[in-house]
Structure 1
Amino acid sequence: MDGTLLAVNGYMYAIVPKSMERKYRKLHELFCIMGVRFHQLAIPIVLSFTAAMCAVAGFGLLIPLARSLAARDISQMLDTPFLGNVLTIFARSPTEALSETALLVIAAGLFVALQLLRISLEYASFAFAHYWGGRYARNITLAMLRRYLRFGKLFFDRESQGEMRTTIMYSQEVLQLLISLRTLLNAGLQLLARLCIMLVISWKLTLIMACAFPLLFVCMRRIAVAMRRLSLHFRQKQMEFGRKLFNVFSAMTLVKTYTREQAMLEHFGALQTEIRSTWFRMLLLEESTKPIQEVIIVCFVTAMLFAGTFMQQAVLDAEQIAVLVVFLYVVIGTMPLYAQMGRMFGLAVETTGPVLQVLSVFNDEEKFIVPEGQEEFGGLRSGIAFRDVWFSYTEDVPVLQGVTFDVPKGSTVAIVGPSGSGKTTLVNLLLRLYDCAPSAIQLDGRDIRTLTHASLQKHIAYVTQEPLLFNESLRENLLFGMDNHLEDATLHSVLQQARLDDLISRLPAGMETVVGDRGIQLSGGEKQRLSIARAILKDAEIIVLDEATSSLDSQTERRIQEALELILQDRTAIIIAHRLSTIRNADKIVVIHAGQVAEEGTLSALLADEDGMFHRLWKAQQFY
């Protein structure tokens, strides 16, 4: 048998099919992520079970009540086990009998009370389930965000931001799954209660109705398989739409300058048509459960009526008709429960795609998680060493090939070279955005992989080539990452150093001006100066500048360079530069070409070698 042998309580064993085992493991994994506790599941289940027992008691009360009414003898209810004992409680004395009117009122009151109690318990079960469900949705959303924040930069380099945003939104679909499971459980318990009543009334008629269950199961199974397939396809197309929409919004200038508006509209129209078509097929399948169930139930009820007549082989008396009416009432009451179970089953299957997508976030495959070290980094004492650094984005093409050089403490080292030579990759390894080989990068002789990320980043300020700004105010962007309160005088001084004071004074809202997505309201130079000011505020002892002045005009660049010279004093700096005019004062220049160190030395020494690569780069920029 294709399955897995499982131990229960250390001595009981069962063969579990592999498909069921996989589903159980997925569900168990999901529950662990959401922080589900036993009592949180038990309370709604107990409430639903108690509500089902109230339904059993209520329907059980209908049978003697119907028989008594049909026989025109209400006092017969006193002979009914348990019910008779309950009714005598309401008598004024043990010797005084209750009138038929009083018996009828009390019995009807008990029935209404049981139904009210059942409704209240079902409502309480609903409230508890949705309360905890909301917490589970919050937990899984935060867990997903926590996971995303752990992933290495290489993961984000490869994945679509639109797909990631859609996946996070799928965490709300998990709540729909939990609601569906609770509703299925509640409806199942109600069906079980009605089945018990049906067995009490007539086990023969109940067996006839029970024959409908396999047929219903086969139909629901086929619908579920089709729904799961369509659900996965629907979610994939939704993610594709989100990814492409994000790409278009991110590159709207490109779309307009290449007049691709109509082409994009047609493409999105075709994609939306496919999404709508898949959604409509899913809707038809989901809604088909109700008519299928009703047709099957009606057919079996009709068969049951004929069977009941033939089994009696005589005209039914009033009591038998009354009991049969109660039986039919119970059977008809199962129809909405079947329909509800069918809908919820369809919804549960529909969420399969989103749930699998959410769970994919929690496996480590292709996540490129950079291992966390255990040692604290208290500051640089001697310097940074790159030792035979290798790195590749794909297995076949290495970006860095045995890069080796030193950055002494307090020095400024410039890294230059053609585009694509691996300069930024080298810096990303130092920042622990990518993982490196053991001891490939050392700080004071300590392997960088042994240091905690937080303690390392605390001592490094980084200015990227492409300024990274949020759609927030200038103040929030400037103070990003600052935990301590900053005096206005200090902030004003930094703005002056970064040459931002003139910009702030021109803006009507000043520091509270919202810069737009990725700082779209600012010019390239203004965005870069804002990034430089943010790095200055961090006051770190190691400063990394990746083409930090590439978007500045020559006049502003000169002013920024003067400010940077003051800032870099007594600090360790690594400067990646394409414009070689910005590295005149570097203590050492490292030339990277094709992922290797081509040259290394001071500016004068490298310029003296007329056959060297740096000399050619310098001459090409007409600074010689």
Structure 2
Amino acid sequence: MQEDKTEIDTVSPKAPVSGMKIYFRLLGHVRSSWHYLVLSVVGYMIYAAMEPALAALLKHIVDTVSEGSIAENRHMIPLAILAVFVARGIGTFLGNYFMAKVANNVVYDLRTKMFNKLVRLPSSYYHSIPTGRLLAKLTYDTEQVIGSITQAIRVLLREGLTVVGLLGYMLYMNWRLSLLFLLVVPLIGLVVAYASKRFRKLSTRIQNAMGGVTDVASEAIKGHEVVKIFGGSDYEIGRFHHAAHENRRSQLKMEMTRALNTPIVQFILAIMMAILIWFALSPSISSHMSPGDFIAFLTAAGMLGKPIRQLTDVNSILQKGIAASYSIFDFLDLPEEVDQGQTSVNRFKGDIEWRSVSFSYPKAEKAALKNINLSLPAGKTLALVGRSGSGKSTIANLMPRFYNIDEGQISIDGISIDDYKLTELRSNIALVNQQVILFNGTIRDNIAYGHLRKTDDKEVIEAAIAANAWDFIQELDQGLDTMVGENGVLLSGGQRQRIAIARAILKNAPILILDEATSALDTESERAIQAALDGLMANRTTIAIAHRLSTIENADIIAVVDHGEIIEQGSHNELLALNGAYAQLHNQQFTETAD
């Protein structure tokens, strides 16, 4: 009995996790760059120390002027000012540069982990989420994380240390006045707490809206020919405008919250400064303070406004990063393909058997396959025929375990496919699809792909010759080094198909799956490719999904699939003699060909 299929919910409804918990998990990725973080903190400490140093220097200048000792300090004061700003500049450089290194290392780490996860996810995930949404996770969400680390931590460290330094200096100068100033902190905290919730909510909306933008754009780019031929430009423009409008609306709400947050905090600080000055002017409180002390204290209090304002501004960036982190970590926590197989084998013989196999796709109401029973000896060919949507491709796709079956068992050489290690199972299977997948590289890269990439050119050329592809490859300016473009767009359909066949020939797997490999080709291309396929199928166990029955008349076993069930099976002549569903399909195609 097979394991239950992994069903992945794109919304991922989970118990809510606190923002701080998510952010600390994000900061866990900083661990590998701790030495850069230490240098950055040292830089920000130098920067922060120079703020109270400026206030203390101002105190010294005022006291020097009031005491009339200008001549004695004429040279020292300018040098001290220069020293403060040089130290401040060094601190700024150390802090900003090394914090940027930390942030970029974290984003690199997250992106590589996300891509590593992506290639290990089950096929059901790829079928449950649009491509644009995936790309948005890898690009937009990780960019938001950069801000929450670079800008947010920079401000939190630099301005936070500055606030600590200035408050420490103020407490040293006059602790009673300083405590009055601290009364404003809870009020600012309430404003920031409210803004935090709104920022995070809006950030999540913006991410979803950005995913919608990339979805529409990705579909329009991939289907540009259909859009043009069927006059879908206005429709696609409308879809994109709607998605972009939703993104803009959420962005504007975010900016409104940020724009209101800053003046409210500034107004609270202004009220506090007014109260502070009123008390400071009281003789009973400031009688022991010199003019320099008084000016330095008010300067330090005034200097607190900028770092406090920036600390509240950073909240929106921080919440964007937390919202993005939710999305990223939800993705990283998705279950990977289950592989509990222990059996190792270098090469299969190729005996395949389906025993009472039933299967339904995740969230599908109807079963895709019902009680499939088939036996395919090694080296023989099984042809699956039937109407579109009958379940032919599903039978084939269960072989490499792109999905796990609900009931029954598929075995190869007498052993259940669940018992084989996934990598070894798939290394023994070659696949040629109707929709050929080529990658944006050279012809050589696409034939010698994956585990085959170190294959000698001689073997690559032999595979191309066997696939009837070498003639057109030689005619290209760059030969094997010719770039094929995204998904082979620079090649014709027949050329792409022959490269896919060459890739399968080079793999030399004992089991071959042909998923309507010639149905979309012209007659001349079909003949060339059918000749290549005949050579490829020799001495291999082959499962051929056929649309044109003329291409599978010589198959050892032909199975007619209808509504997920096998209604007939046998050889071509046996099925014609039955005068059933296969004979009907054959006569229909024969009549259409004659017409």
TM bucket by the smaller chain?
0.7 to 0.9
- Find the counterpart in structure 1 of residue 189 from structure 2: 217
Pair 1:575 & 2:575 matched: no
Select which of 117, 129, 139 maps to 2:99: 129
Secondary structure at the aligned position of 1:440 is classed as: strand
Residues 1:29 and 2:30 aligned together? no
The answer for the alignment partner of 2:180 in structure 1 is: 208
Q: Which amino acid aligns with 2:159?
A: A
Q: After superposing the two structures, state which structure 1 stretch, 323-332 or 282-291, moved more.
A: 282-291
**Which of 478, 502, 505 lines up with 1:536 in the alignment?**
505
Contact in 2 for aligned 1:528/1:551 (Cα 8 Å): no
Residue 470 (structure 1) shift: 2.4
CA spacing shift, 1:261–1:380, aligned 2, 3 Å: same
What secondary structure is seen at the aligned counterpart in 2 of 1:159? coil
Matched, 1:323 2:293: yes
- The Cα of 1:412 is off from its aligned counterpart by 1.5
Partner of 1:616: 584
Q: Which residue of 2 aligns with 1:139?
A: 109
Does structure 2 conserve the Cα–Cα contact (< 8 Å) formed by 1:439 and 1:449? Answer: no
Asked if residue 417 in structure 1 is aligned to residue 386 in structure 2, the reply is: yes
| Alpha-carbon shift at residue 144 of structure 1 (Å) | 0.4
Question: How many Å apart are 1:353 and its aligned residue?
Answer: 2.9
Q: Could you tell me how far 1:407 is from its partner in structure 2?
A: 2.0
Q: Which residue of 2 aligns with 1:377?
A: 345
Residue type at the aligned position of 1:431:
P
Consecutive unaligned residues in structure 2, runs of 5 or more: 1-14
Write out aligned runs for 1:173-572 (5 A). Answer: 173-179=144-150, 180-312=152-284, 320-364=290-334, 369-371=337-339, 373-381=341-349, 383-393=351-361, 394=363, 396-436=365-405, 440-481=409-450, 483-572=452-541
Look up the SS of the partner of 1:272 in the other structure: helix
SS in 2 for 1:590: strand
Calculate percent identity across the aligned residue pairs: 26
Cα deviations across residues 369-395 of structure 1 (Å, max 9, x unaligned)? 343534323111361222222211125
**1:601/1:20 CA distance change after superposition, 3 Å:** closer
| Cα distance in 2, alignment partners of residues 72 and 109 from structure 1 | 19
SS in 1 for 2:281: helix
User: For the Cα contact (< 8 Å) 1:474–1:512, is it kept in 2?
Assistant: yes
TM-score (norm: length of structure 2): 0.88
Query: Corresponding residue for 1:94?
Result: none
Change in CA separation of 1:505 and 1:40 when aligned onto 2, cut-off 3 Å = closer
CA offsets per residue over residues 80-103 of structure 1, 9 Å max, x none? xxxxxxxxxxxxxxxxxxxx72x6
Look up the SS of the partner of 1:404 in the other structure: strand
**Cα distance in 2 for residues equivalent to 1:29 and 1:307:** 45
Q: Which amino acid aligns with 1:130?
A: A
Shift of 1:617: 1.9
Inter-partner Cα distance in structure 2 for 1:154 and 1:21: 26
Give the superposition deviation at 1:260. Answer: 2.4
- The change in CA–CA distance for 1:619 and 1:563 in structure 2 (over 3 A counts) is same
Compare relative contact order (CA 8 Å, sep 6+) and give the higher one, 1 or 2: 2
Report how far residue 329 of structure 1 moved: 1.4
Amino acid in the other structure paired with 1:165: L
Q: Per-residue deviation at 1:485?
A: 4.3
Deviation at 1:165, TM superposition (A): 0.5
CA distance in 2, matches of 1:34, 1:376: 39
CA distance in 1, matches of 2:368, 2:413: 26
Instruction: Look up the SS of the partner of 1:598 in the other structure.
Output: strand
Deviations 1:537-560 (A, max 9, x none): 222221111111112333432343
Asked if structure 1 preserves the Cα contact closer than 8 Å seen for 2:350 and 2:540, the reply is: no
One-letter amino acid matched to 1:142: T
Corresponding residue pairs, total: 575
What is the rounded CA distance, in whole Å, between the counterparts of 1:298 and 1:24 in structure 2? 30
CA distance in 1, matches of 2:16, 2:582: 64
User: Is the CA contact (8 Å cut-off) linking 2:56 and 2:296 kept in structure 1?
Assistant: no
Q: Give 1:119 deviation, angstroms.
A: 4.1
SS of the counterpart of 1:150?
coil
* SS in structure 2 at match of 1:129: helix
Cα gap change, 1:454 to 1:32, in 2 (>3 Å): farther
**Structure 1 spans left out of the alignment, 5+ residues:** 1-18, 75-99
Instruction: Give me the CA root mean square deviation.
Output: 3.0
Following superposition, the deviation at residue 115 of structure 1 comes to: 5.3
The 3-state SS of whatever aligns with 1:622 is: helix
- AA in 1 matched with 2:359: F
1:140 Cα shift? 0.2
* 1:588 shift after superposition: 1.5
Residue 106 of structure 1 and its aligned partner are, at CA, apart by 4.9
Following the alignment from structure 1 to structure 2, what is the Cα–Cα distance between the partners of residues 427 and 455? 17
- 1:292-312, Cα deviation, whole Å (9 max, x unpaired): 333332232222222111244
Relative to structure 1, is the Cα distance of residues 191 and 31 closer, same or farther in structure 2, using a 3 angstrom cutoff?
closer
In the alignment, the residues of structure 2 paired with residue 176 and residue 376 of structure 1 have an alpha-carbon distance, to the nearest angstrom, of 47
Query: Larger deviation: 145-154 or 181-190?
Result: 181-190
Cα–Cα, structure 1 residues 186 and 157, in superposed 2: closer, same or farther, change >3 Å?
same
With over 3 angstroms needed to count, the CA separation of the structure-2 counterparts of 1:430 and 1:291, relative to structure 1, is: same
Among 593, 599, 607, the alignment partner of 2:576 is: 607
What is the DSSP-based 3-state SS (H/G/I as helix, E as strand, rest coil) of the residue aligned with 2:90?
Answer: helix
Question: CA 1:313–1:531 in structure 2 vs 1: closer, same or farther (change >3 Å)?
Answer: closer
| CA distance in 2: counterparts of 1:122 and 1:229, whole angstroms | 33
- Given that residues 130 and 215 in structure 2 are in contact (C-alpha distance below 8 angstroms), is that contact kept between their aligned partners in structure 1? yes
Cα distance in 2, alignment partners of residues 306 and 251 from structure 1:
70
CA distance in 1, matches of 2:115, 2:314: 29
CA deviation map 1:215-244 (0-9, x unaligned): 222222333333222222222111111101
Q: How many angstroms does 1:269 deviate by?
A: 2.8
Once residues 309 and 482 of structure 2 are traced to their aligned partners in structure 1, the CA distance between those partners, rounded to angstroms, is: 55
Partner of 2:133: 163
Q: Deviations over 1:521-574 (max 9, x none)?
A: 333323222211221122222111111111233343234333322332222211
Query: Per the alignment, in what secondary structure is the counterpart of residue 282 of structure 1?
Result: helix
Aligned match of 1:71 in 67, 71, 79? 67
